[in-house]
Amino acid sequence: MNDVLPEEIGRWQRVEHVYARTLSLNGFREVRTPYVEPTALFVRAIGETTDVVEKEMYSFDHHDDALTLRPEGTAGAARAYIEHGVQAREPVTRWWYAGPMFRAERPQRGRYRQFHQLGAEVFGDGGPGCDAEMIDMLVSLLVELRVPDVEVFLNSLGGPGTRALHREALVSYLTPRAASLSPYSQLRLQTNPLRILDSKDPRDQEVVLGAPSIHDFLDAGDREHFARLREYLDALHTPYTVDARLVRGLDYYTRTLFEIKGAHDKLGAGSTLVGGGRYDSMVAGLGGPDVPAIGFAAGLERLLIASEITAPSKGIDALVAPIGLAAVGSGLELARDLRRGGIRCEVDTRGSSLKGQLRRANALGARIVLILGESELADGVVQVKDLEAHLQERMARGEAVRVVLDRLVAASRSVDSRMPT
């Protein structure tokens, strides 16, 4: 779990801002659900034999309630969608969210125990056009965030019937070969054989090379959905790679499944930026209406590692510098006037020397210093010092706000004119 210090927060806010803007342009509205939900919700939605539920949840009992810090956002969003009867009000619901998630994983670069996801869910649209639009939106988002080498990996898992047939064939194939599997996958063979396809252990990887592919079991509806999705992505010129072995760590997926990677040099090939897919059976499975759904989540920390965007570190515009404690009261008043004029400023209320205050102004990135010494106080004036233009003017205090604003506006114009277009 990490602290995010003010030096770093600018990049976080920029990514969050670009995300919120992109999702709003695509008709999504923000939803905020609790960080804590009943443990049973995650067990039912994510699946009892997944790594997340078996090993990674922060669960605790409080009086008679078994509760869990949310390990992901989809289950909570689906619960809220059902609980508030949203389906009765709108046929298609597009929600986005951003916030912390909690998984007790082994920490490493890009993998934390409290991490942040930028996610979204669409309820009520079961068609492949919705899938294509979401994937295309994500690629545009990553490009806007200046993530290099963006790559989309796509698979179809089919519906629950398809999954059951594939599972049976997979178990028949793996059982006689069980002795060659890693000990962990031997256990998985009983509980969640699909996950063996995803194992990073070389012993497992060799065995699964000849395993039956889910694509041989897709029914006509699944095939049509996948073909149309690919058609739409082709029409959008959004490149993707079909990976028939792509499975994900959560059990709720049906049909479309996707992962997006990027910036391999910084994150390594195994580190996924965005994961998502359809979960057409979850809402009904949780006791809600029979509504199809699709969604995704991006790891914010991983996006920040992968992205080349920068954010200027924001300081203040002006420092009010009372020389001596007698000037502090007038300094506070002047600072309040400046802030009312929209100028970011601080007052040095410690009665420091002028030299000390100029040093502080530099450290804070303030362009203007407003000096209130003994004689300024007596005459009702202030010295306005522009540290970049190397100018100093004495003026009536009532004029200071306008002059400082003019100086800042002129400075930002001259910066703008130097920016490449």
Nearer to ligand HAM (CB atom), residue 273 or residue 319: 273
> Looking at 108-116, 217-225, 351-359, 384-392, which segment touches ligand HAM (CB under 6 A)?
108-116
Within 10 angstroms of residue 289's Cβ, the number of other Cβ atoms is 14
Is residue 112 at the binding interface for ligand HAM, with CB under 6 A as the rule? yes
Please enumerate in sequence order all residues whose Cβ is within 8 A of that of 19, keeping only pairs 6 or more positions apart, or say none. Answer: 96, 98, 118, 141, 298
Binding residue (CB under 6 A) for ligand HAM from 128, 158, 262, 275: 275
Specify the stretch interacting with ligand HAM by CB under 6 A; choose among 19-27, 178-186, 271-279, 318-326. Answer: 271-279
> For residues 157 and 334, which CB has a smaller minimum distance to ligand HAM in the complex?
157
Task: State the CB neighbour count (10 A cutoff) for residue 104.
Answer: 14
Nearer to ligand HAM, 123 or 232 (CB): 123
Cβ-based burial of 204 (10 A; exposed 0-12, middle 13-18, buried ≥19) = buried
Task: Please state the closest distance from residue 58 (CB atom) to ligand HAM, in A.
Answer: 12
User: Which candidate, 191, 206, 202, 194, places its Cα nearest to that of 244?
Assistant: 194
Site for ligand HAM in 55-74 (CB under 6 A): 72-74
Between 117 and 155, name the residue whose CB sits nearer to ligand HAM: 117
> Nearest distance from residue 260's CB to ligand HAM, in Å?
8
> Which segments within 63-103 are labelled E, that is strand?
65-69, 93-102
Long-range contacts of 84-92 (CB under 8 A, 24+ apart): 86/123, 87/123, 87/124, 87/288, 87/289, 87/291, 90/124, 91/124, 92/122, 92/123, 92/124, 92/125
* Binding status of residue 296 toward ligand HAM by CB under 6 A: yes
Nearer of residues 20 and 171 to ligand HAM, judged by Cβ: 20
Nearer to ligand HAM, 118 or 327 (CB): 118
The 3-state DSSP composition of the chain as helix, strand, coil percent (nearest 5) reads 45, 20, 30
CB atoms within 10 A of CB 30: 12
Phi–psi pair at 52, nearest 5 degrees: -55, -50
Binding mask 196-235 for ligand HAM (x = CB under 6 A): ----------------------------------------
Residues 77-106 that bind ligand HAM (CB under 6 A): 103, 105
Task: Write the CA distances from 419 to 412, 413, 414, 415, integer angstroms.
Answer: 11, 10, 9, 7
Greatest pairwise CA separation for the chain in angstroms: 96
**Cβ closer to ligand HAM: 264 or 344?**
264
Q: Are 69 and 102 in contact (CB under 8 A)?
A: yes
Distance from C-alpha of 321 to C-alpha of 183, rounded to nearest angstrom: 69
**Minimum distance from CB of 74 to ligand HAM (Å)?**
4
Which CB atom, from 196 or from 306, has the smaller least distance to ligand HAM?
A: 306
Is 119 a binding residue for ligand HAM by CB under 6 A? The answer is yes
Member of 93, 162, 272, 307 binding ligand HAM (CB under 6 A): 272
Q: Which stretch binds ligand HAM (CB under 6 A): 145-153, 269-277, 283-291, 357-365?
A: 269-277
CB 298 → ligand HAM: shortest distance, Å?
Answer: 6
**Closest to ligand HAM by CB, 272 or 307:** 272
Interface pick for ligand HAM out of 261, 302, 367, 397 (rule CB under 6 A): 302
Q: Which of 154, 257, 267, 273 binds ligand HAM (CB under 6 A)?
A: 273
Per DSSP, 179 falls in state: G
Size of the site for ligand HAM (CB under 6 A): 29
The distance of closest approach from Cβ of residue 232 to ligand HAM in the complex, given in angstroms and rounded to an integer, is: 19
Q: What are phi and psi of 395, to 5 degrees?
A: -150, 165
What is the DSSP annotation of 1-21? -----HHHHHHHHHHHHHHHH
**105, burial (CB in 10 Å: exposed 0-12, middle 13-18, buried 19+):** middle
Q: How long is the chain? A: 421
- List 299, 330, 357, 408, residue binding ligand HAM (CB under 6 A): 299
Is 19 a binding residue for ligand HAM by CB under 6 A? The answer is: no
To the nearest whole angstrom, how small is the minimum distance from the Cβ of residue 148 to ligand HAM? 16
Tell me which residues touch ligand HAM (CB under 6 A): 72-74, 103, 105, 110-112, 115, 117, 119, 121, 248-250, 272-277, 279, 295-299, 301-302
